[in-house]
Structure 1
Amino acid sequence: MTSSSDFAHDLLAALTRRPRSISPKYFYDTAGSALFDRICELPEYYPTRTELALLDTFGPEMAECIGAGADLVEFGAGSNVKIRRLLRALHAPRRFIPIDISAEHLMGAAQALQADHPGLQVQPLAADFTRSFELPPPLPLNGPGTAPRVGFFPGSSLGNFTPVEARGFLRRASALLRGGGLLIGIDLVKDPAVLHAAYNDAQGVTAAFNLNMLARANRELGTDFDLTAFDHYAFYQPVHQRIEMHLVARRAQHVHLAGRRFDFAAGDSLHTEYSYKYTVEGFRALAAESGFVPEAVWCDPQRLFSVHWLRSTA
C-alpha cells in the first residue's frame, strides 16, 4: 500500500517536472474511494452498469472458462460490487484475495463479503498492485497440484496505464497467474460525446474526485492548495484514444511542500489520469504480446464495454 512518504515523494516529483503529472493511484484514500463509488452510480457513467450487466448475463459462460475451485485474485478490489456478481456464477471458488491501495476501504468491504460468503476464504491484501508484491501461497488441492489462480481486473482500470505500462502489468499478471487466467474489463473506443459526458458529469462528482487529490495532499502532507483555485478538466484525445484528466489553475498562486515553494500560473495544469480506450482487436493483440492467450470476449449490444477471458500459459 502507499504511504504518506510515497505520496510526498511522488507529489514533489510531480510539482518539479514539466509537464506536471502524478499517478491516479493517489485518488484512492478513503474519501476518494467513496467518491469513486458515487461515480459508478452516475447516469452518465456507463462502464459500471454495462460491465455489471455483462457479468449478470454471461456469468455462467465466464464460470465455465474459469473452472471449479478457483483461487481468485482481484486487482483494485474497491467495494467488491463486481466480484459479488461473479461469485454467483462460479463453481465452488476456494479463496478470494482482494488487493487494493486503500486499506481502510478494503478491510471494510472484505469483512462484509466474508459475512455474506462464510464458506469462502477471504484474505484482503492492502498493496499497490502496480509494484511488486507477494501473494499468499497457492492453495493445495486434495490431490497433486494447486488450485488454479485466476485474476479478476474489472472496471477497465488497465486504461489508467500507458500502453507500455499496460503491457508490463499484463506480463507480470501472466507470470503470477500461470496455469490459470485473467478475467478483465476493457472500455471500448466510442462516440467522444459519450466519453465526455462520462468524465464531466452534471452533478460534479468526478470533479470532486479529481480535486480530492489536492485535498488529500493538504490533509496528509500539509500542502496549501486552494481547491477553489483549480478546475477539473477532462477531454478525449482521439489520436491516442484516451481520456485525459487534469487540474487546471484558475489563477496564479503558490503552493508549499517539504519547505519548497511551487508556482502555478493561471492555466497551468497538473495531469492526474489517463483512461485509454481500446478496440476489441487491439486489446486482444496487446494481451497476446504480453503472455496470454486471448479466448472468449463478451460485449454489450452497443459495444460500449467488453470483458475478456485471457488464459495464461506462463
Structure 2
Amino acid sequence: MSLDTNGRTSTSVPSRLTSLLTDEDLRQSLKEDARTGLSASPKWLPPKYFYDQRGSELFEEITRLPEYYPTRTERTLLREHAGEIAELAGAEVLLELGSGSSEKTRLLLDALTHAGRLTTYVPVDVSSSALTQAMEALAEERPGLVLNGVVADFDQHLAQLPAPGRRLIALLGSTLGNYDRPGRERFLRSVADAMDPGESLLLGLDLVKDPGQLVAAYDDAAGVTAEFNLNALHVLNRSLRADFDPDGFRHLARWNTDEERIEMRLVAERSTRVELRELDLTIDFEDGEELLTELSCKFRRSSAADELTEAGFRDARWWTDPDEAYALVLAKR
C-alpha cells in the first residue's frame, strides 16, 4: 500500500492516514514537558517521548524478550478469547489507541471479521512511520478492510477520533498503567465521554505479582530496556539541541511497594550540567540524582473494576491466564 495525496491506495478499498498531531506539535509538547519536568524536583519526563523510530524498534524488541511476559501473555489471551470479545462487543469498527505495529491486533481483526460486522480499522499512534508501515502490511493482507489511521496523541484528541460505526476501542499492552491513579481517573473519564452508549472498551492490564518477576521484565539481561530508556536522552539531544551524555546515566527499574508500580528511572553517574539550547535552559544533575521516565502501575481486579465503574463503564468481563499474571477486560459504555 502506498498512500497518495488523497489518502488512497492502489487497492479497491480506500485507506487514509489523517494527522491530528504534526511533528511541530510533538516538538512543542516535548519542549513544554522537558522544561517543566527537568526543572522539577524530583525530575521527570513522560514516556511518550521514547517512541521515535528507534524507540519504537527497541520496544518491539523488548516485547520478544524472555523476561517480558506481558506481550506473549496478552497475545495468548487474545488468541483464546478474541471470538468471545468480538461477539460481546458487536463492533463494526476497531479503534486501537497506541497501535504501534498492530501485530497482536490481527487476532482481534480476525475475530471481528468472523463475527461478520467489521468494516473499518482505526489505528491511532503518535508515530506516523509506525502507522504507515502497519497500514501498508494490513492493506496487503486485508484488501477488503477500510483502514483509517490517525496520527494523534490520545491524551489530547480522543473526541476527534473517527466514529464510522459502532466501535470497540482497544488499549492493549497495559498502557493504562503508565498513568498514576488520578491520571487514570481523568483518562478513563475522557474515554467514556468520547464513546457512544453501547460501545466497548478493551483493556490489557498487567496484574500485581512477585516483584522479582516484575523488575526483571523492565531490566532484562540483554540490556534492551536500558537502551530503550536511554533513548529518551537521544531524543532530547536531537529535538532540543541538548548535550546529554547518555554514557553518564544508567537505567534503573524499581518496584514501588506502596503504589504497586514499576518506576523506570535514569540515574546520573556523576555530577553534570546539561544545556538544552532550544529551550535556553541549563539543568544540573547531582551524582546519583534520578530522572523518572516511566510509571508502570500494576492492577488488582477489585480496584480496577471500581475505577471503570467510577468512569462510567459497566458489565466488565475479565479473562486471565492460569497464573493470573495478566488480564483482558471488556467493559461497556
Tell me the TM-score range normalised by the shorter chain. Answer: over 0.9
Alignment partner, residue 224 of structure 1 = 243
| Alignment equivalent of 1:11, drawn from 31, 34, 50 | 34
Cα 1:12/1:119, change in 2 over 3 Å: same
Q: Are 1:39 and 2:62 an aligned pair?
A: yes
* 2:256 aligns with one of 223, 234, 237: 237
Q: Distance in 2 between matches of 1:224 and 1:311?
A: 48
For structure 2, the residue ranges without an aligned partner over 5 or more in a row are 1-20
The answer to whether residue 216 in structure 2 is matched with residue 176 in structure 1 is: no
Q: Which amino acid aligns with 2:166?
A: P
**Within 1, Cα distance between the matches of 2:57 and 2:183?**
26
State the one-letter code of the partner of 2:283: F
Q: Which amino acid aligns with 1:62?
A: I
The answer for unaligned runs of 5 or more in structure 1 is: 140-146
Letter in 2 for 1:174: A
Match of 1:57 in 2: 80
* CA root-mean-square deviation: 1.3
- 1:291 paired with 2:312, answer yes
Match of 1:81 in 2: 103
Which SS does the other structure have where 1:124 is aligned?
A: strand
| 8 Å Cα contact 1:70-1:148 kept in structure 2 | yes
TM-score, length basis structure 2: 0.89
Q: Give the distance between the partners of 1:53 and 1:73, measured in 2 at CA.
A: 21
Specify the code of the residue in structure 1 equivalent to 2:99.
A
**Deviation per residue, 1:129-164 (Å, 9 max, x gap):** 01134545533xxxxxxx312201110000000111
Q: CA separation of 1:112/1:135 partners in 2, compared to 1, >3 Å: closer, same or farther?
A: farther
The answer on whether the counterparts of 1:294 and 1:308 sit within 8 Å (CA) in structure 2 is no
- Number of residue pairs matched by the alignment: 304
Once the 2 structures are TM-superposed, how far is the Cα of residue 230 of structure 1 from its aligned partner? 0.1
- Once the two structures are superposed, the pairs formed by residues 1-314 of structure 1 within 5 Å of their partners are 1=21, 2-67=25-90, 69-90=91-112, 91=115, 92-135=117-160, 137-139=162-164, 147-179=165-197, 180-257=199-276, 258-312=279-333
TM-score (norm 1): 0.94
**Deviation at 1:109?**
1.1
Identity of aligned residues (%): 40
Distance 1:161 1:269, change over 3 A: same
Contact 2:320 2:327 in 1 (8 A): yes
Q: Which letter maps to 2:311?
A: S
Query: Structure 1, residues 278-304: CA drift from partner, whole Å, max 9, x if none?
Result: 111211111011010042110000000
Q: Which amino acid aligns with 2:52?
A: D
Distance 1:275 1:137, change over 3 A: closer
* Equivalent residue letter for 2:256: Q
Q: Greater CA deviation, 97-106 or 129-138?
A: 129-138
Measure, in 1, the Cα distance between the counterparts of 2:195 and 2:35: 35
Q: Aligned residue for 1:144?
A: none
Q: 196-205 or 83-92, which moves further after superposition? A: 83-92
Cα 1:136–1:202 change in 2 (3 A) is closer
Distance 2:52 2:282 in 1: 25
Aligned CA distance change for structure 1 residues 206 and 136 (closer, same or farther; 3 Å): closer
CA deviations 1:237-261 (Å, max 9, x no partner) are: 1110100011010001110012222
Letter in 2 for 1:74: E
Distance 2:139 2:302 in 1: 37
CA distance in 2, matches of 1:274, 1:137: 29
What amino acid is the match of 2:307?
Answer: L
Structure 1 residues 299 and 133: CA distance shift in structure 2, 3 A? closer
Whole-angstrom distance in 2 between the partners of 1:134 and 1:31: 29
